[in-house]
Amino acid sequence: MATIEDVAKLTGLSRTTVSRVINNHPYVSEEKRKLVLEAMEKLGYVPNSSARSLRNQKTSILALFIPRITNPFFSELVEATEIAAAEYGYQLIICQTRYSPEKELNYMNLLKMKQVDGVILASIQNEWKKLKPFLQYGPIVLCNEFDDRANVPTVRLDQVYGGYIATKHLLEQGHTKIAYCSGGYRSNVAKSREIGFKKALAEYKVPFHEQYAFRDAFHIADGKRVFQKMMALSERPTAVFTGSDEVAAGIISEAVKCGYRIPEDLAVVGFDNQAITELTNPTITTVHQPVKQMAQKAVDVIVEKIQTKKYETKEIYEFPLQLIVRASTIGSKLHQYEA
């Protein structure tokens, strides 16, 4: 394994000069520069990352915290974040908290140990006061998830608006018995959507009944379970708002299997605009989230924070959401080949 010393020896120059060539510093004669480059090539020399990190106090690695990567929303976020990070020359370490506060705190030590230059939190499992102390070791940027008490840069989507437009759409179709379905008790994303949901109901003077709320739905299986619960109610809802397309797909799948018609018997809106929304029958009305933009911004911001070393600045960057209307809410016109 060739080191800078080997290159220095081979050229008869000092480590300093070699280092200058590597880092494109001035005051190296063209003659020596060529000599060094040739020697580096010949020895197959590449600077050692650990040594550089130690000396420069910088690893060029970011950590991205997500609950689990198999959730397509987070897959897309990881994809976009990795690409954006690579543009800046950063590597991305994936930290799956699996909804565990302990795992989250444990991964946070990456910042303390200086194994990463910064942390992007796309989900939050601990109270902010538990995370805040880590700010002394490096920047934390919130992306997607957020917390009012957190005095750090936050890149997020207007979830209140998302809940609002999706629900308003159902209300416009004449529904008054609308169920609410979400995942993540701790999540402010879910809470915001619920605020938007209730805001829309209030505007239409439609009351909300707590028995219509299901706040523990994450996966397809949860959707199936929730559907059965809804159908067991004495007064069944005619529409349901869900916090993810997976759950919406689960509901639809179970409904169709049980002989119900979507949207005639139950209108369903999803969230995320995932690929499955166009594959189910009927296709799923959903809310599109600009994940790529959000990821890009989060990386832009954290790179800037790493450079300026000002970590405790409350900056909010918010992107809009967009309703995508498909067959699961507006019925027959789009149901071209069914039945």
**Closer CB to DNA, 90 or 212, in the complex:** 90
In this structure, are strands 316-319 and 286-288 parallel, antiparallel, or unpaired?
A: unpaired
Of 14, 16, 70, 211, which lies in the binding site for its own copies, with binding defined by CB under 8 A?
70
Would you say 29 or 57 has its CB closer to its own copies?
Answer: 57
Count of Cβ atoms closer than 10 Å to residue 281 Cβ: 14
Residue closer to its own copies (CB basis): 172 or 278:
278
Choose the one of DNA, its own copies, none that binds residue 115, judging by a C-beta under 5 to 8 angstroms depending on kind.
Answer: its own copies
For residue 216, count other CB atoms closer than 10 A to its CB.
12
> Per CB under 7 A, does 226 bind DNA?
no
Residue of 223, 249, 211, 247 lying closest to 326 (CA atoms): 249
Which lies closer to its own copies via its Cβ, residue 275 or residue 325?
275
Task: Tokens for 162, please give them.
Answer: 């998302």
Q: Please, which residue, 91 or 176, has the CB nearer to its own copies?
A: 91
| 309 touches DNA (CB under 7 A) | no
Burial of 89 (0-12, 13-18, 19+ CB in 10 A): exposed
Q: Say whether residue 76 binds its own copies (CB under 8 A).
A: yes
Instruction: Identify the residue among 8, 10, 18, 110 touching its own copies (CB under 8 A).
Output: 110
For residue 22, state whether it binds its own copies (rule: CB under 8 A).
no
Q: Which one of 32-40, 113-121, 178-186, 210-218 is the stretch in contact with its own copies (CB under 8 A)?
A: 113-121
From the list 106, 99, 125, 100, the residue with the least C-alpha distance to 63 is 106
d(CA 89, CA 125): 29
**Rg of the chain over all Cα atoms, to the nearest angstrom:** 26
Select from DNA, its own copies, none the partner in contact with residue 324, using the beta carbon and a kind-dependent cut-off of 5 to 8 Å: none
* Contact by Cβ (8 Å): 154, 146: yes
CB nearer its own copies, residue 188 or residue 329: 329
Strands 322-324 and 286-288: antiparallel
26 binds, among DNA, its own copies, none (CB under 5 to 8 A by kind): DNA
Residues 285, 116: Cα–Cα separation, whole Å: 39
Site map 32..61 versus DNA, x via CB under 7 A: x------------xxxx-xxx-xxxx----
Residue from 335, 326, 135, 163 nearest 243 by CA? 163
Q: What residue ranges in the chain does DSSP mark as E strands?
A: 61-66, 91-96, 118-121, 140-143, 154-157, 178-181, 213-214, 239-242, 267-269, 286-288, 316-319, 322-324
Q: List contacts with its own copies (CB under 8 A).
A: 1, 44, 46-51, 53-54, 57, 59, 61, 68-70, 72, 75-76, 78-79, 82-83, 91-94, 96, 109-110, 112-115, 137, 220, 246, 249-250, 252-253, 256-259, 275-276, 278-281, 336-337, 339
Q: List contacts with DNA (CB under 7 A).
A: 1, 3-5, 12-17, 19-20, 22-23, 25-29, 31-32, 45-48, 50-52, 54-57
